[in-house]
Structures are given as structure tokens and as C-alpha cells.
Amino acid sequence: MLEGNLYTAMVTPFTDSGEVNYKKSRELASHLIDEGCDGLVICGTTGEVPTLSHQEKLDLLQNIVDEVGEKAEIIAGTGSYNTEASIELSREAEEIGVDGVMLVVPYYNKPPQAALYQHFKTVAESIELPVMLYNVPGRTSRNMEAKTTIQLAEIDNIVAIKEASGDFDQATEIIARAGDKIDVYSGDDSLTLPLMALGGRGVVSVAGHLVAAEIRDMIDSALANDFNRAAEINKKLFPIFKNMFISTNPIPVKTALNMKGWDLGGFRQPLAELEESKKNLLRNLLENYNLL
């Protein structure tokens, strides 16, 4: 099982020449855990994973496991639209010593629901690790329906889903029918609290890079059934949650971290720097929250 409630999907630092900055990645990982994250998702969308080579993924995972693996859960983003490649990377991540893998709904080729089931079943059965499914139809163009997730929950090591469909009816159906077998995490910071009110477990966060301690407080309050306090924290953080998506993720959050002095480098193409007008908006936001 996965034990955490707050995971941050970590950005990937680059050097000025565009190489993966493993030293900086270790520093950032350690900082995020110290701020209150239970674990990290490495090699996810927020980490610009489509631009990383196979070896870079392995080296990045090894560095993060070496740095914080003894005090946090490390989940490796190993899914793709290639089942065999997903199996290979998942097995290699398991050898490195991660605590779980995250498998995204295959993108671009739009498999039917029965094919989604077979894809995830095949990958999950190839490893011993806990599996977090990742449903994000806004990026993949394919929604994994509740009935498919519920069917997959019968597989022993499929223990969680990052549900980023924004469909609360779908999330409620999963929780109601399979909540004893699969934990549902929000894939959107702004929807974490309402999802937890429905029985969700927590969040795979982007804003955790900036306000992990506050998100931790909100989650802990919700778990203690103090939804009044949780709602106040959520209202306070809502502008941060939303403004991390004024452009394509991870452009805003990585830009914000660089504004804070992290020196994480730029972006690999096809991503690009944030427009100057949006940089000004972001800088004002950070100043308003005393984050600069």
C-alpha cells in the first residue's frame, strides 16, 4: 500500500546547458519532504518526462531514492502508451528501490475501456510494487470510466488512482464501490478538499512546491473532520492553486521556483518560457503570499 496523503509531482531541474541537474534535484526533493510532503512523484508530467531519455529517468530516480528514499515514499512515473516500455521502466524502477509506480492512461492512441484494463493489468502483474493509476483525460484524450477503475481495483497491487478528470460523480462512484480497495487522490490542487469530503485520500500536488506546509495542514484538518478549518485554508490557497495553471504545467510552477531563487533552469522544447505579462502576474501573486 501507499501510505501518504500529500505527494508532490516534482519538477525536473536542468542546468544552463539543458542537462538534468541531479544535484539540484536532490536538494529540491529534500526541501519538499522537509516542508511536509509524504512523498514525491518523479518522472511525471510536471517533471517534463516526455523530454527525458530512458537513462535520464533511471538516473533521476536513483538520485532521489538515494537522497530521500529512507524518509519518504518515491513514486516513479513509468506509464506510457507503450505497454512493453511501461513494463520495462516499471521493472527498472523497482530494482532502483522506489515505493510505487504511477501509470498514466495511454495517451494519443485512445484505447477502448477493455484495452485500458488489459494494459494496466499486464503492467501491474509484471511487478511487485504498489500501482497508482493516473486518469487525466484533459491530457490523454481518453477518460478511464469508473467501471474500469473499479474492475482494476480487484488486482492486488493496484492500490490508488490519481483522478484528474474533474468529475466528482465518477470519483464518488469509485469511492462508493471500491473505496476499500483503492485510494482516490485528487490530480488538481483546487479539488483536493471537495474530493476528500467525498472520501478521497489526498492529492498529487503541483502547488506543494510552494505551500506544502499549508496543504499538509488542510489535509490533516480534513482527516480530523475539521472541515471548517480546512475550508478556510483552501480559500486562502485557492489563488495559488489556480495560478499554477495560467500556462501549461509545469511552466508556471517552475518559473515561480526560479523566482524564489531555486535556479532550476529552463524548459526543454516543446515547452518554453512564460510570457512576461504572466511572469508579472506570478511575481505579484508570490509577493502577496510572502513567498518572495
Task: List the pLDDT tens digit at each of the 292 positions of the chain.
Answer: 899 999 999 999 999 999 999 999 999 999 999 999 999 999 999 999 999 999 999 999 999 999 999 999 999 999 999 999 999 999 999 999 999 999 999 999 999 999 999 999 999 999 999 999 999 999 999 999 999 999 999 999 999 999 999 999 999 999 999 999 999 999 999 999 999 999 999 999 999 999 999 999 999 999 999 999 999 999 999 999 999 999 999 999 999 999 999 999 999 999 999 999 999 999 999 999 999 9
Q: First-to-last CA distance in the chain?
A: 37
**Pairing assessment for the beta strands 183-186 and 202-205 based on DSSP bridges:** parallel
Active site residue 260: no
Tally Cβ neighbours within 10 Å of residue 227: 15
Q: Map residue 32 onto helix, strand or coil.
A: helix
Look at residue 1 in the predicted model and tell me its pLDDT: 85
Res 202: pLDDT = 98
Q: Which fold has domain 6-226?
A: TIM Barrel (3.20.20)
Q: Grid coordinates standing for 103?
A: 501509470
SS3 193: helix
pLDDT of residue 209: 98
To the query of whether residue 162 is one of the catalytic residues in this protein, the response is yes
Contacts of 237 (CB under 8 A, 6+ apart): 189, 207, 211, 214, 215, 218
Which residues, 6+ apart, have CB-to-CB distance to 200 below 8 Å?
A: 163, 171, 175, 183, 184, 185, 186, 192
Which listed residue (162, 185, 254, 279) is catalytic?
Answer: 162
Rounded-to-integer distance, Cα 221 and Cα 229, Å: 6
> Which residue among the candidates 7, 22, 117, 134 is catalytic per the annotation?
134
Question: Rounded to an integer, what distance in angstroms lies between the CA atom of residue 139 and that of residue 275?
Answer: 22
Sign of the torsion formed by the C-alpha atoms of 111, 43, 181 and 233: negative
Other C-beta atoms within 10 Å of 118: how many? Answer: 13
